[in-house]
Chains A and B, each alone.
Chain A
Amino acid sequence: MSDIYSEIILDHYKKPHNAGHIKHDTNHAEEDNPLCGDNIKIYIKVSDKKIIEDISFEGEGCAISQASASILTDFLKGKPVAQAKKITTEQMYDMLKIEISPARSKCALLALRTVKSALS
């Protein structure tokens, strides 16, 4: 595990992947952390075979919340919906490859919470 502002986190924060609003999304959701003002909107296009064909996000907030949305949407593209629904906190932290303190867990998990809400 490396420093919280690792190159990966900062790269995703500065140049987020999958940013914007995809066309023809079948599912979407918006969640926020009212205490810190982080906000994430997730748009997902699910195929007939229940595969995540496309996914994007919009949002604002701290580096951790925005980078984790970028990293998670990268990971989920092409994955079955069933798998996305089962992602755990630990798997999310593993994807970020940084030490998440209890104070920042809400930031790190906001994108995952939003994805699950979009798929529920």
Chain B
Amino acid sequence: MPKIDSKKIKKLFPIFSKKENKNLVYLDNAATTQRPKVVIDAIKDFYETHNSNIHRGIYDLSEKATNMYEGTRLHVSKFINAKSSEEIIFTKNTTESINLLAYTLSDNMLQKGDRVITTALEHHANFVPWQTMAKKKGFILSVVPVKEDYTLNMEEFEKLIKEPNVKLVCVSAMSNVTGTIPDIKKIIKRAHEVGALVMVDGAQSIAHEHTDVQKMDCDFFVFSSHKMFGPFGVGVLYGKKQLLEKLPPFLYGGDMIKSVKETCTLFNDTPWKFEAGTPSVADVVAFKKAMEFIDELGIENIKKYEMSLAKKAVEMLKKHKQVKIIKPKNLELSGPVISFVIEEIHPHDIAEVFNKEGIAIRAGHHCNQPLMASLGIPATARISFSIYNTEDDIKRVDIALKKLFKLFKK
């Protein structure tokens, strides 16, 4: 397998060669990654060569477009090792995937008094839908807390899973704030032992960790294309086929039906019954190129390279005494995401000074206010790595930090 040559890889991403971005150090990959030329070209190629609507045209152009769209579905199923492509539903993003589940499970499989477990590590996308449904339908929502070392409190999980009527566990495979990787295997095993389903939010893990939904044995798995070098506007919901077949449709309209009479409608089969209306076809088609791009590099190579950067970044940050790192000490238990705070300097001021140095980082609550509240801080600054980041980027952060301290020295 080839080793990661970040300088070579960086050249495959057009954004870094634009003159306005000459100085750019992009360290907000947990928010969205950049796109390689192959993905951008695939979008253009679709519109220029194959543009037509799918699943309905009796002409070559539409048949080809349909095949390309369904080709991506097949590729996704292989990428995450699903049993079949019929277990793959396209949505517009992770949030929509989770909402699809929140609505359809609440209508169909969950009842008043049932318990849903989520965790303090979750992005609002995997928290607010369940909290809202719990209020609407009378479910009990339990939240597994985070320990002082920023790992999930598995003792508390064990207590919560033993409560009666636990029907669903919703957990992130990697935190977008601390990079924490919970013990998903154990969570799934325990949940299944008590008869609960498990939904895993893979939005952060998908570009950094190998995903095998069969081995993991999760019931549902969700992620977005735009965090793995693919286009915006494409999300995925994986579900075990026998479960998806039991769920009602989420959105209603064209393309999700078999036949419609004035008095009743026969819905399409899974997964198409969940895909009402015209999807973002060109983006779905180009998404395949993003997965091929990852496959060519090898996800294990990517992980190894990014974690070596994360390790070096943590070492650099540790040299600055004012910096407090918000990340599990054992890097094996986390991904290439590093949050930090600095006493007496607000994260927005950190990000603003970094911006002046050409460094894009995220500052704020990262769509995770419950976690911020439990950590007792309003916000953090966050660095997140991808394959085009280099050791030079870490040196630039070091320089920016020194400038920040000088500027804010009392």
Contact = CB atoms under 8 A, between A and B. Distances in A.
B407 A104 contact: no
B352 A37 contact: no
A61 B378 CA distance: 9
B364 interface: yes
Q: Chain A interface: which size bin?
A: 10 to 19
B227 interface: no
Given A5-B353, A62-B349, A107-B348, A37 B407 contact: no
B226 interface: no
A10 interface: yes
Given A36-B348, A62-B349, A5 B407 contact: yes
Contact of B352 (A14, A35, A104): A104
A109 interface: no
Q: Chain B interface: which size bin?
A: 10 to 19
Contacts of A107: 348
Contacts of A69: none
Given A5-B353, A36-B379, A104 B348 contact: yes
B210 interface: no
Interface string B392-410: 0000000000000001101
B211 to A, nearest CB: 32
B35 interface: no
Contacts, number: 38
B12 to A, nearest CB: 30
Contacts of B365: 35-37
Contact of A61 (B346, B352, B353, B377): B346
B123 to A, nearest CB: 15
A63 interface: yes
Interface string A1-40: 0011100001001100000000000000000000111100
CB-CB nearest 9 A-B residue pairs: A37-B378, A62-B346, A62-B348, A14-B410, A62-B349, A63-B349, A37-B379, A5-B407, A36-B348
Interface of A: 3-5, 10, 13-14, 35-38, 61-64, 104, 107
Given A3-B356, A5-B353, A37-B378, 18 more contacts: A4-B352, A5-B352, A5-B407, A13-B408, A14-B408, A35-B365, A36-B346, A36-B347, A36-B364, A36-B379, A37-B377, A38-B346, A62-B348, A62-B349, A63-B346, A64-B349, A104-B352, A107-B348
19 contacts: A5-B349, A5-B352, A5-B353, A5-B407, A10-B408, A14-B408, A14-B410, A35-B365, A36-B346, A36-B364, A36-B365, A37-B346, A37-B365, A38-B346, A61-B346, A63-B349, A64-B348, A104-B348, A107-B348
